[in-house]
Amino acid sequence: MKENPSVSYPLFASFKDKLKPKRSQAQMALSQANVFSRLSWQEIKIVENAVHIRNYGPGEPIFQQGDPGSGMYIIIEGSVGIFLDIPQQSPKQLSKLGDGDFFGEIALLDASPRTATATALENSTIIGFYRPDLMDILKTKPVLGGKILLALSEVLAVRLRSTNGELVKVSRKLESLIETGTNE
Amino acid sequence: MSNHESVTIAPQSVRLFHQSLFKTLVYFFLLILVLAGAYKAFPLVVDALFLIVIAAILTAVFNPLVDRLESSGLKRIYGTLLMFGGIFGIVGLGVIKGIPTLLAEITRIKDVIQQNAATESLDSILGDINARIAEFVPSFQLDPDLISSLSSQLFSQLGSILAGALDTLATILFILIITMFFLVDGKRMTKKLIGMVPNRYFEMSLNITYKTKKQLTNFLRGQLLAALGVAIQSFIGLNLLNLIFDTNISGVVLISAIAGMANMIPFVGPFMGMVPAIIVSLFNNLGDPVAASHFYYILHIIVMFLIVQMIDNNVISPIVVSGSMEMHPLTVILLILVGSQMGVLGMFLAVPAWGISKVVIQEVYQGLKGHRLI
């Protein structure tokens, strides 16, 4: 006689539930971001203690184009619009980000000005992880800091490869256009 | 009709007037109470702030060490306890070994002065010094009465100084406890405080706090390293003077420590550092004709401290201090004058406090400018 797997044992299930580690929303959001996706839950907990959880109202800017960049953001709840400010024109929306999405991670490495404006589109809860936080982790937990830096380098490498691919495509298109122009 | 109305309204308006007058008087009384309370509490608040500021400065100094211990895998609280254990150990050893020596030294100097005052040899020595000074500066003379009255005043206050030392010890202990809390929980406290900043200014505040903390740590570390450098050089120099010229300078460790700490005050500090060495050499050599013929080794000591200053200014300071203390001599004199209103400690802390404020103001200005808020 085969045992039915769907039969539940309430006492056992209750114990199992109690033993199951409880993850906060921030921990879940952090584990989804590619910079932290390879960290253990224990390491995620350390990062959670270092980050800042902020609430933004609809239309409230998170950062503005031209501001010195200082960190990355991960959306726990809500949505964020990325806008390009064009002089004498209304801002152009480049993308809309939702729960679990992240942006601005390059600013962790580089303080150059932000290239776009990020604005909350509705009531949003967002994690902010800034360069001072990363520096602090690097100082006090160098192994964890190294893992985050390695993940950041991988993000950069992927972006660089994709940009190179785009560049090759554009240069080929340009060459073909020049060729067409010469033939005509 | 209008008369009748005015008559009926009048008592009500008078009542309202009375009510408002009563309210105003109550508010006025409360305001006076609050102001009196604030006036009474003001010194307490200032004292508490002073302790917190000193603890914050110490935290900035010790934080890198605790960070390093934490990075080696030790929990922050254990790292802090370990560091404080070490500090208390060293200070305790210093107190156990140093205080009896210091007290013996003070008693010995007191005896020497009393003996020499009795035999009037202090007068003859001052006469000798005055004759030597007259060779260089004819119009300048040291007054023997002034010197002996100054020294008797100093020794009569010795008891109250020692009583005050116990009070100071309690304050130091309190500062160290606050520092311990700051070291263990400081990051969480800072995070909570910055968390209160509105979203618009949040990133900027975080950056300013981080950069200021970094600059402050570098500045204090530089100052302390330079002080340590001067103290070590003074220790070597004074021992060399004792060895080569038999200058008979006692309490070399204490004098070197004073010279190192005084060095944190630009321009005036180096002179403050050499004064104890000169005084000790003078008192230790009273009645010694060889020492008298060498001008009580005062010139030797001055030259030694000048060499220490040269090495510090040209070799050590350029390496360890980031140049954030560049100040006009007039600013330094004014700061010391202002600091002197708060006693010797105020004089000592005025210049470094100004240096720290300068760093904070610079960082806040740069941050506000970067975020186009000014």
Where would I find the H helices in chain A? 10-19, 25-32, 41-50, 131-140, 142-183
Task: Establish, for the pair of chains A and B, how many residue pairs have beta carbons separated by less than 8 Å.
Answer: 46
Per-residue model confidence as pLDDT tens digits over A143-156:
999 999 999 999 88
pTM for the full predicted model: 0.68
> What pLDDT was estimated at residue B299?
86
pLDDT digits (tens, 9 = 90+) for A54-82: 999 999 999 988 888 889 999 999 999 99
Q: Measured between alpha carbons, how far is A69 from A67 in angstroms, rounded to an integer?
A: 6
Is there a contact between B371 and A61 if contact means CB atoms under 8 Å apart? Answer: no
User: Which CATH architecture group holds A23-170?
Assistant: Sandwich (2.60)
Which residue among B71, B187, B210 places its CB closest to the CB of A142? B71
Q: Is A60 on the interface with B (CB under 8 A)?
A: yes
Residues of B in contact with A131 (CB under 8 A): 207, 210
pLDDT at B101: 73
Tell me the backbone φ, ψ of residue A84, rounded to 5 degrees.
-105, 120
Q: What is the pLDDT of residue A122?
A: 94
Phi, psi of A53 (to 5 degrees): -100, 120
Q: What does pLDDT average to over chain A? A: 88
Residue B324's contacts (CB-CB under 8 Å, 6 or more residues apart) are B215, B219, B222, B355, B358, B359
- Which chain A residue lies closest to B206 (C-alpha atoms)? A132
- The verdict on A73 touching B (C-beta cutoff 8 Å) is no
Q: Using a CB-CB distance cutoff of 8 angstroms, which residues of chain B are in contact with residue A62?
A: 199
| A137 pLDDT above the threshold of 90 | yes
In this prediction the ipTM stands at 0.80
- Going by C-alpha positions, the residue among A128, A146, A126 that lies closest to residue A137 is A146
**Type of residue found at B335:** L
* Residue-range domain boundaries for chain A: 23-170
Contact predicate A95/A63, CB 8 Å: no
Domain boundaries, chain B: 1-119+157-196, 198-374
Burial class (CB in 10 A: 0-12, 13-18, 19+), B257: buried
Contacts of B371 in chain A (CB under 8 A): 67-68
Taking only the tens place, the pLDDT of each residue in A102-128 is: 898 888 888 788 889 999 999 999 999
User: DSSP state, A52?
Assistant: E
Average pLDDT on A88-95 reads 88
| A 77-116 residues with CB < 8 A to B | none
Residue A14 CA: distances (Å) to CA of A5, A6, A9, A17, A22: 17, 16, 9, 5, 14
One digit per residue, the tens of pLDDT, for chain B of length 374 reads 444 444 445 566 666 667 777 777 788 888 888 888 877 777 777 778 888 888 888 888 888 889 999 998 889 999 999 999 988 888 788 778 777 777 776 677 667 666 655 555 566 666 666 666 666 666 666 666 666 666 666 666 666 766 677 777 888 888 889 999 999 998 889 899 999 999 888 888 888 888 778 777 877 777 788 888 899 999 999 899 888 888 778 778 888 888 888 887 766 777 777 888 888 888 777 767 777 776 778 888 889 999 998 888 777 777 766 555 566 767 777 887 887 777 767 776 777 777 778 777 877 887 777 777 77
Residue in B200, B203, B371 nearest the CB of A130: B203
- Cβ A70–B76 below 8 Å, yes or no? no
